Homo-oligomer: A and B are copies of this chain.
Amino acid sequence: MTDQARGAIDVAVFGAGRIGRIHAGNLARQPGVRLKYVVDVNREAAAALAREHGVEAVDADAALEDASIGATVICSSTDTHADLIERSAARGKHVFCEKPVDLALERARSCKEAVERAGVVCMIGFQRRFDPTFAAVKARLESGEIGTPEMLVVTSRDPGAPPVDYIRRSGGIFKDMLIHDFDIFRWILDDEAETLHATGSCLTDPAIAEAGDIDATAVTIRTKRGRLCQINTSRRAAYGYDQRFEVLGSGGMLQAGNVRPTEVAAWSATAISTDLPEAFFLERYRAAYANEIAHFFEAVTRGTPVRTTIADGVKALELAEAATRSWREGHAVRLGGAAD
């Protein structure tokens, strides 16, 4: 009996870069999931990843037109996301797509509608929700351990800025970097923004300012129910990748801390020291990446809902756009109309 016969699902991965390789490796470990194609405009990268998994490298059309492909995993460049989502959805294929849906809010919204019309599963890769520490905080919040959440403080810092060339095409720090933090905000406070204020500075490299962007931000959100959220971010933390948040509730506080490579403590003549946090997102979110792919295929297989929908992707983008506007115009902005 073949996998297919047993109901296995064949998958095409778009994008053979860092994150594509991780997803390919993780999905290959799912029972009943079979990687079939790797697609990348960089044919060499596609071929290498395909070879590693003993599968075929094909072009996008071939993958999308193959009716046996049940799901696509989209890790290609941001400007291809919306198009690949729509084409996948139109052919009834389920979609896992890296954030953001698109840099343009309107495009992201129409994409969301296309997905809804098609009735396929579409999960956006907000992997942080699948981090064991972050997920444990969420579960404990929901158990009522600290009562009603009132205030969220998010610290989100990268170890260093990407090349300015990347920044130029990134949509700006709010869409590129804080989009994850906006998703964390919505998930943890379980509420929608009413007003948002963002400010920031370019402190690490003047070239970033010349590219019209900033590298340090301070965002405050007040929700419809009056809850408060502060997000502080920087493109450059000398000590590495810093991913923490804490929620104050009516009955206590929950903190989500960084993860360390080892539990060694060294007592020297000058200090007691421990490891820095895991170096960057590939290390810190290793378990999260595995968990989110497992979650996606479980949802596809069992027909259960996904935790991070394309609607979440659009919402996070709305906040990123509001933050960009607040920063540019120098005043707080009110978030739009009727929330869904």
Binding site for B on A (CB under 8 A): 132-133, 136-137, 140, 145-147, 150-151, 153, 155, 157, 195, 197, 199-204, 216-218, 220, 222, 226-230, 232, 234, 236-239, 242, 248-259, 261-276, 330-332
Chain B neighbourhood of A269, CB < 8 A: 238-239, 251-252
Question: Assembly of this chain: how many copies?
Answer: 4
CB pair A275–B266 under 8 Å, yes or no, is no
CB pair A276–B271 under 8 Å, yes or no, is yes
CB pair A199–B203 under 8 Å, yes or no, is no
With known contacts A153-B155, A230-B218, A232-B151, A264–B253 Cβ distance under 8 A: no
Chain B neighbourhood of A253, CB < 8 A: 237-239, 242, 266-267
- Minimum CB–CB distance for A253 against chain B, Å: 4
Chain B neighbourhood of A332, CB < 8 A: 197, 199, 330-332
Please name 25 pairs of A and B residues whose Cβ atoms are closer than 8 Å in the assembled complex, sorted by A.
A133-B264, A146-B238, A146-B266, A150-B203, A151-B232, A153-B153, A153-B230, A157-B248, A201-B222, A201-B228, A203-B227, A218-B229, A218-B230, A220-B220, A237-B253, A238-B250, A251-B268, A252-B267, A252-B268, A252-B269, A254-B264, A257-B263, A270-B273, A272-B276, A331-B332
Query: Other than the known A133-B262, A145-B266, A236-B250, what 11 A-B pairs have Cβ atoms closer than 8 Å?
Result: A137-B264, A157-B248, A201-B226, A201-B227, A238-B267, A239-B252, A252-B269, A266-B271, A273-B273, A330-B332, A332-B332
- Minimum CB–CB distance for A51 against chain B, Å: 13
Nearest to A135 among chain B residues (CB) is B262
Chain B neighbourhood of A272, CB < 8 A: 239, 273-276
> How far, in angstroms, from A286 to B137 measured CA to CA in the complex?
23
Contact pick for A228, options B151, B199, B264, CB 8 Å: B199
CB pair B218–A222 under 8 Å, yes or no, is yes
With known contacts A151-B218, A222-B201, A250-B238, A264–B268 Cβ distance under 8 A: no
Chain B neighbourhood of A271, CB < 8 A: 266, 273-276
Chain B neighbourhood of A155, CB < 8 A: 153
Q: Which 6 A-B pairs have the closest CB atoms?
A: A201-B226, A257-B263, A271-B273, A273-B273, A239-B267, A253-B267
CB pair B199–A195 under 8 Å, yes or no, is yes
- Minimum CB–CB distance for A327 against chain B, Å: 10
Which of A218, A239, A261, A272 has the most chain B CB atoms inside 10 A of its CB?
Answer: A272
- Minimum CB–CB distance for A90 against chain B, Å: 37
Nearest to A268 among chain B residues (CB) is B252
CB pair B239–A268 under 8 Å, yes or no, is yes
- Minimum CB–CB distance for A93 against chain B, Å: 28
- Minimum CB–CB distance for A232 against chain B, Å: 5
CB pair A266–B252 under 8 Å, yes or no, is yes
CB pair B153–A264 under 8 Å, yes or no, is no
Chain B neighbourhood of A251, CB < 8 A: 238, 268-269
Nearest to A153 among chain B residues (CB) is B232
Nearest to A214 among chain B residues (CB) is B226
- Minimum CB–CB distance for A288 against chain B, Å: 12
